């Protein structure tokens, strides 16, 4: 089953999130051979397509998991775009939102879409169904730097397209979440941190929540090929801590979220191996509570090496990786 719950930040307070991966056909960019370099999520989209009715029933079944729970967020992923008519018909989207509207305990709803697929009418008709709930449309901006988006990610979107989509979403009465990618390929650890800070600076007027997505190495991707040759190392958890602390202090009114997927493993963000669990837990605790105290006073002997790499701007392929 591809739905599950976990503790999370729900419209600003601690609550429970229900994650649902909808079995649509997945991202159209992937289907036309233009996948983002780090992403293989659409590879797990169903081989034979589900009918729209089956998808709606699937959501209904997933929602049984939150019956009797308080303060719930529902986060819907499709391995593509919720607002892509090729994945979900407009009528299907509305039916799903009507199901969500029946649950008083749902306080927050998040869907995802590529920016070029965001249209005012499509967001407005959904926002109207869940008027009393915190409704966010998440967009994979990844970086506000168009060159990095092109060369290191193959995103096929520009910052201008994100700004346009943000305007449509807000005009329709919903909020904007921006996904940012920490450490695209070809950047040093230091430049990865610099890129994400610059992206937050540029995007903050158009964004309500930032989600700092830390690269993890997915199967069959360009990221995996570089990683196998020791030419790319997923970010240090120290870098995640640095970015989150800076972002929350600089923009305290914004929600700054991060769930470091695969933390502590070679394919995920990691430190030395000894301190990974403690640091990853601190990151998750901060994300759920938005309190920077969980990120203060973290230390381990490997931090000196990270400091050196940042100070000198060392590139991954200059390192003996581990
Ligand atoms: Zn360590």
120-148: per-residue pLDDT in tens?
999 999 999 999 999 999 999 999 999 99
- In the reported structure, the alpha carbon of residue 295 is separated from the centroid of ligand 1 by a whole-number distance in angstroms of 15
pLDDT of residue 159: 98
- Note the pTM of the prediction, 2 decimals: 0.96
pLDDT of residue 133: 97
pLDDT of residue 42: 85
Mean pLDDT computed over every residue of the chain: 96
- In the reported structure, the alpha carbon of residue 301 is separated from the centroid of ligand 1 by a whole-number distance in angstroms of 6
* Distance, first Cα to last Cα, the chain: 34
- In the reported structure, the alpha carbon of residue 273 is separated from the centroid of ligand 1 by a whole-number distance in angstroms of 6
pLDDT over threshold 60, residue 321: no
Asked if residues 149 and 37 have their Cβ atoms less than 8 Å apart, the reply is no
- In the reported structure, the alpha carbon of residue 186 is separated from the centroid of ligand 1 by a whole-number distance in angstroms of 24
- In the reported structure, the alpha carbon of residue 282 is separated from the centroid of ligand 1 by a whole-number distance in angstroms of 14
- In the reported structure, the alpha carbon of residue 214 is separated from the centroid of ligand 1 by a whole-number distance in angstroms of 18
pLDDT over threshold 90, residue 97: yes
pLDDT over threshold 70, residue 188: yes
- In the reported structure, the alpha carbon of residue 316 is separated from the centroid of ligand 1 by a whole-number distance in angstroms of 18
| Total Cβ atoms within 10 A of residue 235 | 27
Structural domain of 13: 3-318
- In the reported structure, the alpha carbon of residue 303 is separated from the centroid of ligand 1 by a whole-number distance in angstroms of 6
d(C-alpha 120, C-alpha 123), whole Å: 5
245 forms bridges with which residues in the sheet? none
d(C-alpha 265, C-alpha 281), whole Å: 14
Provide the CATH number for the domain around residue 36: 3.20.20.70
pLDDT of residue 45: 86
Asked if residues 196 and 163 have their Cβ atoms less than 8 Å apart, the reply is no
* Ion ligand 1, residue ranges at CB < 5 A: 271-272, 274-275, 300, 302
Instruction: With cut-offs at 50, 70 and 90, classify the pLDDT of residue 63.
Output: very high
Q: What is the pLDDT of residues 152-175, one digit of tens each?
A: 999 999 999 999 999 999 999 999
33: left (phi over 0), alpha (psi -120 to 50) or beta: left
pLDDT over threshold 80, residue 119: yes
- In the reported structure, the alpha carbon of residue 264 is separated from the centroid of ligand 1 by a whole-number distance in angstroms of 10
Q: What is the pLDDT of residues 212-237, one digit of tens each?
A: 999 999 999 999 999 999 999 999 99
pLDDT of residue 2: 85
The total number of structural domains that make up the chain: 1
Q: What percent of the chain has pLDDT over 90?
A: 95
d(C-alpha 233, C-alpha 272), whole Å: 12
């Amino acid at each position: 089953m591809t739905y599950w719950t976990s503790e999370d930040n729900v419209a600003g307070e601690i609550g429970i999130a229900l994650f649902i991966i909808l079995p649509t056909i997945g991202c159209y960019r992937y289907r036309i051979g233009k996948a983002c370099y780090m992403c293989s999520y659409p590879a797990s989209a169903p081989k034979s397509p589900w009918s729209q009715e089956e998808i709606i029933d699937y959501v209904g079944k997933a929602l049984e998991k939150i019956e009797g729970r308080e303060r719930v967020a529902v986060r819907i992923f499709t391995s593509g775009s919720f607002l892509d008519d090729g994945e979900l018909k407009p009528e299907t989207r509305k039916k799903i939102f009507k199901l969500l509207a029946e649950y008083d305990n749902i306080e927050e709803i998040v869907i995802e879409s590529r920016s070029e697929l965001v249209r005012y009418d499509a967001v407005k008709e959904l926002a109207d169904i869940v008027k009393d709930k915190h409704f966010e449309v998440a967009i994979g901006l990844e970086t506000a730097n168009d060159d990095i988006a092109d060369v290191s990610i193959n995103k096929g979107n520009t910052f201008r397209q994100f700004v346009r989509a943000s305007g449509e979403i807000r005009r329709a009465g919903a909020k904007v979440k921006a996904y940012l990618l920490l450490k695209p390929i070809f950047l040093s650890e230091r430049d990865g941190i610099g890129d994400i800070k610059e992206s937050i600076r540029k995007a903050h007027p158009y964004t309500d929540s930032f989600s700092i997505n830390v690269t993890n190495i997915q199967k069959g991707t360009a990221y995996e090929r570089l990683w196998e040759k020791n030419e790319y190392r997923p970010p240090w958890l120290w870098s995640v801590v640095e970015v989150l602390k800076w972002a929350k202090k600089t923009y305290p009114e914004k929600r700054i979220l991060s769930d470091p997927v695969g933390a502590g493993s070679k394919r995920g963000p990691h430190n030395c191996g000894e301190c990974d669990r403690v640091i990853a837990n601190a990151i998750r605790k901060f994300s759920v509570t938005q309190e920077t105290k969980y990120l203060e006073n973290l230390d381990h002997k490997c931090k000196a090496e990270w400091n050196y790499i940042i100070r000198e701007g060392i590139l991954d392929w200059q390192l003996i990786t581990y």
